[in-house]
Amino acid sequence: MKILSFVRIMFLARNRWSRPLLLFLSTIAIVIVFVMIEMNNAKIIIFPLLLLFFYNLVIETWVGLAFISPGKKKKKDLVSKGWFSQFHNLDTTIHSMSHFDNKVRPLVIIIHGWRSGASSMLGRAENYINLGFHVIIFELPGHGKSESVSKWTAGHASTTFNDFFDDLENSFDMRFVEDIYLHGHSMGGFVLLRFDRLISSTDSRIKGYILESPMTCYSMIFEESLRTLKIPRFAENLFWRRLSKHFNKINPRIADVSELIDVDTPNWGLIRNNCIVIQAEHDDRLGLVHYHRLIEHQQKIPNYIFEHHLVEDLTHAGARENINRNILIEQWLNKVKNHSDSV
């Protein structure tokens, strides 16, 4: 029974609703005491305590609602010939799909977007296979068949992908890999921006990044949360301070976040490598603000091949097949390869 109780306590500690639940129960208990007690002097002492608990209950409830989970996971397998399913026992158990053969080729690792999964990346993956690549599709924590997390953050996803990348030699036959490229879609792009800050700038295996309609600024998502949760203006800073405190506790391997600019490009991260940004011109999810913010800062990084393109017929979600995207990627890959061969 003691072991079972310990497990329950550990579950509550990790669950995003543990604090609101404990505060709710405590607040109810204080209200009952306040109503039942007859001594006015005692009520004067208890009332500020009641206000304090109620204040924390409201703030922690907002925080719990802000840590939205991916929801129903896409667990559909890739049934196409040549694909291999694999689990990786990292801090969070991660699922990947890979397509390798026994020839020396470049490798591309694809990271999908929010509430997506490996199956949604199949069209992009097949384009790379046709270009002569090995392919790995990394399923973010809480997505696909990867382990669920109670408090989902892009910081945790970035450090988890960093661990996954460091473990490539143990998980895949890297003897057949000559160069590595990374393709991030939407949230996957945001994860890669931070990942490039986490790795050594001298990692010569990575030849370039493909960012497709990437998220680049959490502050805009935060503004959405304020509107959705109907948080009054006077409480916005209080909410942010508590939210960032939770973020820092979840992400000890990332430098503490104190201001909103810390979770926006360029502070969040930039690509110190060859890079192409392919943006849906009529992006109905993120708009073009994230794109313009990234371009403003990314084009200042010297000594690398950098391109950015607005694609009229590309959509943010559901664009498993897009000829113009494929052409732009192939042309850019050839430029990077020719540049590398000439150096």
pTM above 0.85, yes or no: yes
What are the 10-residue block averages of pLDDT along the chain, 343 residues in total?
44 66 89 84 87 91 86 65 93 96 97 94 96 98 92 95 96 95 98 93 88 97 92 94 93 92 96 97 96 97 96 92 97 92 68
What is the pLDDT at residue 42? 82
What is the pLDDT at residue 11? 46
3-class DSSP state of 207: strand
What is the pLDDT at residue 319? 84
pLDDT in tens, 23-56: 889 899 988 888 888 788 888 888 889 999 999 9
Q: How many CB atoms lie within 10 A of CB 264?
A: 19
Q: Which pairs count as long-range contacts for 18-27, CB under 8 Å and 24+ apart, including other chains?
A: 19/60, 19/63, 19/64, 20/57, 20/60, 20/61, 20/64, 23/53, 23/56, 23/57, 23/60, 24/57, 26/53, 27/53, 27/54, 27/57
Mean pLDDT of the chain: 90
Q: Where are the beta strands (DSSP E) in the chain?
A: 83-89, 93-99, 105-111, 134-138, 177-185, 206-212, 275-280, 306-311
What is the pLDDT at residue 14? 53
pLDDT in tens, 180-199: 999 999 999 999 999 999 99
